[in-house]
Amino acid sequence: MRWLLQPMAILLVMVVAAVCVTENSATAVFELRLKKFVNQYGKDTEGHCCSGYRNSQGLCSGTCKTKFRVCLKVYQEVIDPNSNCTFGEAVTPVLGENEVDFTKADLGDFVNPVKFQLSSWQGTFSLIIEAWHEEPNDTLSYAVQHSKFIANQMPREKTIGDKSSGTDGLETVQRKGNEGKGGREKKRAGREEHNEREGR
């Protein structure tokens, strides 16, 4: 399968994610919980219908068959979606059509939250979340899948602190102390793809 990666402005989608990082003396676990995705008009990043045709009102007659790619890598000031996913990559099967509610969808073999085991916490990272439309190529005699790029997000950088950022209402940050056991947990809700975190 070929990923058609292009940096595009996203206007018609929303990805809401909750990120949980748990650290202890030896390892760290990065968790990303996907909550909801909306592609209201069933179009890809180039404005074409994922399937079907566009009627006289400009609406698509078909829907997208949506799957997702999550990539966690070392921090990059300018994100390169084609470089290796240093800490891990997850690709889902098709999970729904124009709207996917991860709390209600049949996720099949995909496990939500997505978990990445880290040997140690790096302090900063880049996170890429992409949405793709997949359809079979019916003109061939064997099953071939190809994809259309639907969406990704290029959000601003954030730093985890002890209090809610209170900047836009899209995210909250909480710390839970468990220092006696050598662990701590950081939680964040918001729509993000590129985050900056500082460990203590």
**If you compute the radius of gyration of the chain from its CA atoms, what whole number of angstroms results?**
18
Tokens standing for residue 19: 């990120």
Domain extent listing, the chain: 15-190
Q: Do the Cβ atoms of 22 and 187 come closer than 8 Å?
A: no
Q: In whole angstroms, what is the distance from residue 123 CA to residue 1 CA?
A: 33
pLDDT > 50? residue 178: no
pLDDT for 10 equals 31
* Close Cβ partners of 123 (under 8 Å, ≥ 6 residues apart): 197, 198, 199
DSSP letter (8 states) at residue 181: G
What is the arithmetic mean of pLDDT over 175-184? 30
Higher pLDDT, 157 or 19: 19
Strands (E), 24-92: 28-38, 66-73, 88-91
Phi and psi at 149, nearest 5°, equal: -75, 125
pLDDT for 161 equals 29
pLDDT > 70? residue 158: no
Q: In whole angstroms, what is the distance from residue 129 CA to residue 106 CA?
A: 20
pLDDT for 4 equals 30
pLDDT for 103 equals 84
Higher pLDDT, 197 or 174: 197
Q: In whole angstroms, what is the distance from residue 172 CA to residue 178 CA?
A: 19
User: pLDDT tens across 97-121, in order?
Assistant: 999 988 876 777 788 888 888 887 7
Strands (E), 7-86: 15-23, 28-38, 66-73
Three-state SS at 179? helix
In terms of Cβ atoms closer than 10 Å to its own Cβ (0-12, 13-18, 19+), residue 31 is middle
**How does residue 89 score in pLDDT terms, banded at 50, 70 and 90?**
very high
The rounded mean pLDDT for the chain is 64
Tokens standing for residue 143: 């099953």
User: pLDDT tens across 15-52, in order?
Assistant: 444 455 555 555 788 888 888 889 888 998 888 899 88
- Taking alpha carbons only, the member of 121, 112, 92 closest to residue 16 is 112
pTM (2 d.p.): 0.61
Instruction: Note the CATH number of domain 15-190.
Output: 2.60.40.3510
pLDDT for 176 equals 26
pLDDT for 20 equals 56
What is the arithmetic mean of pLDDT over 122-141? 72
Beta bridge partners of 22: 29, 185
In terms of Cβ atoms closer than 10 Å to its own Cβ (0-12, 13-18, 19+), residue 43 is buried
